[in-house]
């Protein structure tokens, strides 16, 4: 999908060039950054001031030619923040709503979707009897069964509480890694969602794209720290479950070394991705002893990025893996940290929340 878009609002202008291929492309920006406008323009629910949309060689929108393909002909299944289920239909009828419009033979097997999203027990229920999470799962299933060419998700978890949200995230991970291989454009302002789901990350600021690229590259880029938010920013690293320990901790194998964190439910051998918040990483010049932190990893400094405030983003190389640390400028001077300095990254096990760990 290739999108070029320009749309004027009273206080800012959305102006961007966006490309989304396979996997999950996450669009991250604060509330009011125009994210929903992008989704609506792609879905065909909004006519932007200027825009061009091309999918698989087919032009669906071109304002210079006054071309606006109707939403129902675009086949972008959309999951909205408010599930927008049809209140007069049961869950099963909601799921089947789009099936009759899907091109013949393109259907994802109905039972697969019901199994994937755990909807079996809900089929005869009415939407107004469902919890928020159940509604979103139904809305997702409904969109999948309309056999879309691409899935658009507009803050699908934003109206759910943390518990419900983390009930649904695994379903989305299954969807991403499963056999469907449906491209997804995922819009969110929640860092934990995008770090768990995205393959490609696009950061929006003031209506423009401030950074884009593979998730791990963007998350490890010190320049992206202020865009993501200093308290949320942090590298996403890959690790494999090595052992579940008897004291309630899990040991993960990294490229070099191991990482201990509170027990995760994945079985031994499972590949996980986890975000280590930059502000939770400490730097020591010598290997600290007599310290409660369980994770002490040998590292070397590859970059020191000063911001406007007292904080400094330091990129560390830990056996080929990039990890961001956010420390104070005062500490950089006191420890005489420079590019190339060998040091130790210290991470408390308990700072890695289970919610930052995904597949």
Partner 1 sequence: MTLDAVAWDALRLSLWVAVWATVIAVPLALWIAWILARKEFWGKSLLNALVHLPLVLPPVVTGYVLLVLFSPNAPAGAALATIGLTLAFKWTGAVLAAIVMGFPLMVRAMRLAFEAVDPKIEDAAATLGASRLSVFTRVTLPLIAPGILAGSVMGFAKAMGEFGATITFVANIPGQTQTLPIAIWTALQIPGGEGKAAAMALLSCTVALGAVFLSEWLARRVALRIAGAP
Q: At a CB cut-off of 8 Å and minimum separation 6, what does 120 contact? A: 114
State whether residue 253 is helix, strand or coil: strand
**Residues in contact with partner 1, shown as a per-residue x/- string from 326 to 345 under the rule CB under 8 A:** --------------------
> Given the rule CB under 8 A, which of 25-33, 99-107, 260-268, 305-313 is the region that contacts partner 1?
99-107
Q: How far is the CB of 46 from partner 1 (least distance, A)?
A: 10
Contact status, residue 146 vs residue 101, Cβ threshold 8 Å: yes
CB closer to partner 1 out of 70 and 338? 70
Q: How far is the CB of 217 from partner 1 (least distance, A)?
A: 32
Note whether 44 binds partner 1 by CB under 8 A. yes
**Residues in contact with partner 1, shown as a per-residue x/- string from 57 to 76 under the rule CB under 8 A:** -------------xxx-xxx
Report helix, strand and coil shares of the chain as percent, to nearest 5. 30, 35, 35
Note whether 43 binds partner 1 by CB under 8 A. yes
**In the 8-state DSSP scheme, what is residue 226?**
H
State whether residue 308 is helix, strand or coil: coil
Q: At a CB cut-off of 8 Å and minimum separation 6, what does 238 contact? A: 216, 271, 272, 273, 321
Note whether 47 binds partner 1 by CB under 8 A. no
CB closer to partner 1 out of 130 and 332? 130
CB closer to partner 1 out of 6 and 125? 125
CB closer to partner 1 out of 126 and 190? 126
Burial state string for 250-274 with b = 16 or more CB within 10 A and e = fewer than 16? bbbbbeebebbbeebebeeeeebbb
Q: How far is the CB of 68 from partner 1 (least distance, A)?
A: 13
Note whether 56 binds partner 1 by CB under 8 A. no
Contact status, residue 289 vs residue 334, Cβ threshold 8 Å: no
Q: Under rule CB under 8 A, how many of the chain's residues touch partner 1? A: 34
CB closer to partner 1 out of 102 and 209? 102
Contact status, residue 280 vs residue 234, Cβ threshold 8 Å: yes
Tell which one of 89, 190, 210, 230 touches partner 1 (CB under 8 A).
89
Rg (CA), the chain: 22
Q: At a CB cut-off of 8 Å and minimum separation 6, what does 326 contact? A: 225, 230, 233, 278, 279, 281, 311, 312, 313, 314
- Interface of this chain with partner 1, residues 110 to 139, rule: CB under 8 A: 124-128, 139
Q: How far is the CB of 43 from partner 1 (least distance, A)?
A: 5
> Given the rule CB under 8 A, which of 81-89, 180-188, 247-255, 283-291 is the region that contacts partner 1?
81-89
Note whether 82 binds partner 1 by CB under 8 A. yes
Q: How far is the CB of 113 from partner 1 (least distance, A)?
A: 14
State whether residue 167 is helix, strand or coil: helix
Q: List the structure tokens of 140.
A: 């997702």
Note whether 195 binds partner 1 by CB under 8 A. no
d(CA 32, CA 51): 20
Note whether 295 binds partner 1 by CB under 8 A. no
Contact status, residue 71 vs residue 22, Cβ threshold 8 Å: no
Q: List the structure tokens of 160.
A: 């759910």
Which residues sit at the interface with partner 1, rule CB under 8 A? Answer: 43-45, 70-72, 74-78, 80, 82, 84, 86-90, 97-98, 100-102, 124-128, 139, 142-143, 146, 152
């Amino acid at each position: 999908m290739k999108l070029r878009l320009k749309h004027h609002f009273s206080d800012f202008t959305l102006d961007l060039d966006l490309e989304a291929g396979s996997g999950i492309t996450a669009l991250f920006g604060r509330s009011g950054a125009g994210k929903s406008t992008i989704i609506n323009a792609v879905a065909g629910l909004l006519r932007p001031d200027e825009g061009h949309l091309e999918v698989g060689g087919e032009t669906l929108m071109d304002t210079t030619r006054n071309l606006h393909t109707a939403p129902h002909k675009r086949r972008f299944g959309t999951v909205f923040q408010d599930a927008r289920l049809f209140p007069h239909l049961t869950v099963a009828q909601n799921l089947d709503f789009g099936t009759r419009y899907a091109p013949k033979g393109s259907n994802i097997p109905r039972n697969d979707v019901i199994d994937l999203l755990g909807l079996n027990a809900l089929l005869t229920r009415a939407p107004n009897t469902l919890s928020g999470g159940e509604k979103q799962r139904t809305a997702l299933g409904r969109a999948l069964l309309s056999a879309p060419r691409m899935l658009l998700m507009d803050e699908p978890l934003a109206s759910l509480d943390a518990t419900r949200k983390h009930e649904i995230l695994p379903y989305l991970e299954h969807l991403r890694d499963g056999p469907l291989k449906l491209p997804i454009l995922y819009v969110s302002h929640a860092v934990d969602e995008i770090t768990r789901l995205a393959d490609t990350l696009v950061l929006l600021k003031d209506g423009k794209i401030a950074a884009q690229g593979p998730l791990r590259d963007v998350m490890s880029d010190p320049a992206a720290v202020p865009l993501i938010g200093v308290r949320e920013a942090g590298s996403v690293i890959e690790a494999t479950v090595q052992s579940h320990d008897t004291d309630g901790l899990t040991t993960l194998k990294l490229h070099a070394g191991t990482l201990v964190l509170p027990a995760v439910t994945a079985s031994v051998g499972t590949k996980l991705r986890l975000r280590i918040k930059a502000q939770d990483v400490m730097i020591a010049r010598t290997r600290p002893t007599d310290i409660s932190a369980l994770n002490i990893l040998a590292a070397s400094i590859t970059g020191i990025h000063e911001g406007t405030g007292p904080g400094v983003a330091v990129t560390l190389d830990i056996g080929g893996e990039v990890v961001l640390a956010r420390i104070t400028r005062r500490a950089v001077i006191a420890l005489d940290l420079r590019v190339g300095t060998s040091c130790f990254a210290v991470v408390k096990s308990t700072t890695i929340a289970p919610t930052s760990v995904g597949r």
